[in-house]
A and B are shown apart, each in its own frame.
Chain A
Amino acid sequence: MDIPYTIEARPDTGLYNAKVGIWIFLASEVMLFGALFSSYILLRVGAPEGYWPRGWLNVPLGTLNTLVLITSSITTVMAWASCKLNQFGRFKVYHACTLLLALVFLCIKSYEYHDKFMHYEIVLKDGRIADGHIVENDPKADHVVIAGRYVQDRLDLYDLEERKAPRHHEEISIPRSQIEKMERYGPWHNTYLALYFTLTGLHALHVIGGAIVIGFLWGPGSKLWETDPERFTNRVEISGLFWHFVDLVWIFLFPVLYLI
């Protein structure tokens, strides 16, 4: 039995079925990310003055990732256009670029995550706070070494833009006996990082999902082109709509998390 309306439009909707389906799915995605964005707004507004981190993320890397996703959007739409123009070879090239760009995006994101997980806030028994990236953390050694700085007040760690925090960090050796608490900059560290990891993590899962679908259409799924090119073109369009949505979400995530 053939699935109806995979190519021709349904008379009542004027669209092929998969297109209606993907838009309903994207509508539910808007609500999913909308709920997370509203949580972000509520938590940010509720944060006391000066306690919302600024300048904690690497803006050049975030900008580069934005440019990577935008470029992947144009390669996606060009891949679909190539199918429409009956240029299957070009489709292959454009979608290979899309997959490569998705990989670049995920690599950059992984580097940023790694950077955060290597960043520690160490509260000492004398009240000072040592903050920086771990250099040595051998459990058998009686010292921990970080590349960072000491602060007296936690507030000095929050607004790195306003306070013109020094970018140059020196190596600090801290005896374990002086450490009261030692914590990574993971999602458990504070509200901002919980939101950062939740929002960008969910987005990264979407990038991985989209890349798997595009990878399938580029590889084994592309056999459909030989037997049913119109249906294949529609599949490329549907996967492209999802990919553009992923790009669209990042367009908002980037300024919200990195810049403001």
Chain B
Amino acid sequence: MTTEAQAEFAQHVRRYLYVFYALLFGTLATVGASYIPFGNHAINIAVALVIACGKASLVGGFFMHLISERKLIYGLLAFTACFFLGLMFLTVSAFADLPRMTVTH
């Protein structure tokens, strides 16, 4: 790696530190938000999952370099996302005939 390339890479390193601070903040925000009475517990769940998605995006985007990855990896992840959404679709579909009161203990 040339000196110029190393200097440019050092900029990336600084970015990793900012992401790290954001993740620390996100963790504290998740815990803090869980103690806020929003009136409906579903809102607490939604807030926690939105923050978790934000944190996951930071880890995936910057630490795993997905922000500047090759098309092949994006294609692979698109396939994975389709199958994952299919799995969740099946789960949500199952709510319609979920045997109620099956989990009592």
Are both chains from one complex? yes
**A residues neighboring B (CB under 8 Å):** 13-15, 19-20, 23-24, 27, 30-31, 34-35, 38, 41-43, 45-48, 51, 59, 63, 66-67, 70-71, 73-74, 76-78, 81, 84-86, 154, 190-191, 240-241, 244-245, 247-248, 251-252, 254-256, 259-260
Contact A78 B16 (CB under 8 A): yes
Report which of B59, B70, B83, B88 forms a contact with A251, defined as CB distance below 8 A.
Answer: B59
List 6 other contacts, CB 8 Å, given A43-B103, A86-B6, A255-B30. Answer: A14-B71, A30-B84, A51-B105, A78-B16, A244-B59, A251-B56
Q: Given that A27-B76, A254-B30 are known contacts, is A41 also in contact with B91, CB under 8 Å in the complex?
A: yes
Contact check, A27 vs B79: say whether CB atoms are below 8 A apart.
yes
Interface of B is mostly: helix
Task: Report yes or no: B59 in contact with A248, Cβ–Cβ below 8 A.
Answer: yes
The answer to whether A255 and B77 touch (CB under 8 A), given A14-B72, A70-B24, A85-B9, is no
Q: Which of A78, A84, A259 contacts B34 (CB 8 A)?
A: A259
Interchain CB contact under 8 A, A259 and B48: yes
Instruction: List 21 A-B pairs, Cβ < 8 Å.
Output: A13-B70, A19-B73, A24-B76, A38-B87, A42-B95, A46-B99, A48-B101, A63-B28, A66-B27, A73-B63, A78-B13, A78-B16, A81-B12, A85-B10, A244-B60, A247-B63, A248-B56, A251-B59, A255-B30, A255-B34, A255-B52
Decide: A42 and B59 in contact? CB cutoff 8 A.
no
Chain A residues whose CB sits within 8 angstroms of the CB of B24 once the complex forms: 67, 70
B104 touches A42 (CB 8 A): no
Which chain B positions have C-beta within 8 A of A67?
24, 27
Q: Measured between C-beta atoms, what is the minimum distance from B28 to chain A in Å?
A: 8
Nearest-neighbour CB distance to chain A for B39, whole angstroms, equals: 14
The one of B17, B27, B91 in contact with A42, judged by C-beta atoms closer than 8 angstroms, is B91
- A42-B94, A63-B31, A81-B9 known; A244 vs B63 contact (CB < 8 Å): yes
- Give the residue name and chain of the B residue nearest to A39 (CB): B91
> Chain B contacts of A24 at CB under 8 A?
76
Q: How large is the interface on B (under 10, 10 to 19, 20 to 34, 35 or more residues)?
A: 35 or more
In the bound complex, how far is the Cα of B9 from the Cα of A76, in angstroms? 16
Query: Which residues of chain B are within 8 angstroms of A73 by Cβ–Cβ distance?
Result: 20, 23, 59, 63
Known: A31-B83, A74-B20, A77-B16. A251 touches B48 (CB 8 A): no
Q: Which 3 A-B pairs have the closest CB atoms?
A: A255-B48, A259-B34, A38-B91
The reply on B64 being an interface residue by CB < 8 A is: yes
Q: Smallest distance from the beta carbon of A77 to chain B beta carbons, Å?
A: 5
Contact, CB under 8 Å: A63 / B27:
yes
Q: A20-B72, A30-B80, A255-B30 are in contact. Are A46 and B55 (CB under 8 A)?
A: no
Say yes or no: B84 contacts A31, CB within 8 Å: yes
Among A35, A70, A252, A256, which residue has its beta carbon within 8 angstroms of that of B27?
A70
> Which chain A positions have C-beta within 8 A of B17?
74
Q: Which residues of B contact A20 (CB under 8 A)?
A: 72-73, 76
